[in-house]
Structure 1
Amino acid sequence: MRRLLLALPFALLPLAVAHAAAEHDHDHEHGSLGAHEHGVARLNASLDGEILELELESPAMNLVGFEHAATSAADKAKVAAVRAKLEKPAALINLADAKCTLEQKVLKSPLFGDEPDHEEPADEDGDEHHEHSEIHAQYRFRCVAPGSLTHLDLAPLFKEFPATQKILVQLIGPSGQQGGEMTAQAPALKF
Structure 2
Amino acid sequence: MRRLLLALPFALLPLAMAHAADGHDHDHEHGSLEPHEHGVGTLNVALDGQTLELDLDGPAINLLGFEHIATTDADKAKVNSARTQLENPLALFSLPKAAECAVEAQELESPLFEAAPEEAAATQTEHHHNDIEAHYAFTCAKPEALKTLDLTQFFKTFPGTHKIKAQLIGDSGQKGSELTPKSPSLTF
* TM-score of the pair, normalised by structure 2: 0.78
Q: SS at 2:176's partner residue?
A: strand
Q: Closer, same or farther in 2 for the Cα pair 1:28/1:73, shift >3 Å?
A: closer
For 1:137, the equivalent position in structure 2 comes to 134
What SS does structure 1 have at the residue aligned with 2:155? helix
1:175 pairs with 2:172: yes
Q: Call closer, same or farther: CA 1:90–1:31 in 2, change over 3 Å.
A: same
Give the aligned partner of residue 149 of structure 1. 146
Per-residue CA deviations over 1:67-118 (Å, capped at 9, x if unaligned) read 1100111111110010000000000000112110000000000110169xxx
Q: Return the letter of the residue paired with 1:50.
A: Q
Question: Would you say how many aligned residue pairs link Structure 1 and Structure 2?
Answer: 158
Report the Cα offset of residue 189 of structure 1.
Answer: 1.4
**Residue 82 of structure 1 aligns to a residue in which SS?**
helix
Q: CA deviation at 1:44?
A: 0.2
The one-letter amino acid of 2:73's match is A
1:13-67 per-residue CA deviation (whole Å, 9 max, x = no partner) reads xxxxxx99x93xx447552771211100000000111000000001000001101
1:31 pairs with one of 9, 27, 30: 27
Give 1:6's aligned residue: none
User: Quick one: distance in 1 between partners of 2:80 and 2:26?
Assistant: 30
The residue that corresponds to 1:105 in the other structure is: 106
Structure 2 residue ranges without an equivalent (≥5): 1-16, 117-124
Residue 123 of structure 1 corresponds to none
DSSP-derived class of the 2:37 partner: coil
What is the distance in 1 between the residues matched to 2:115 and 2:105?
A: 18
Residue 130 of structure 1, CA deviation: 1.8
Asked if the contact 1:108/1:114 (under 8 Å) is kept, the reply is: no
Distance 2:63 2:172 in 1: 31
- Kindly provide the amino acid, as one letter, of the partner of residue 164 in structure 1: T
**Equivalent of 1:166 in 160, 163, 166:** 163
Report sequence identity in percent.
52
**SS of residue in 2 equivalent to 1:34:** coil
The list of structure 1 runs, each at least 4 consecutive aligned residues, that deviate by more than 6 angstroms after superposition, is: none
Which amino acid is 2:134 matched to?
A: A
- 1:80 partner SS: helix
Question: What aligned pairs does 1:1-191 form with structure 2 within 5 A after superposition?
Answer: 23=21, 26-27=22-23, 29=25, 31=27, 34-97=34-97, 98-113=99-114, 130-191=127-188
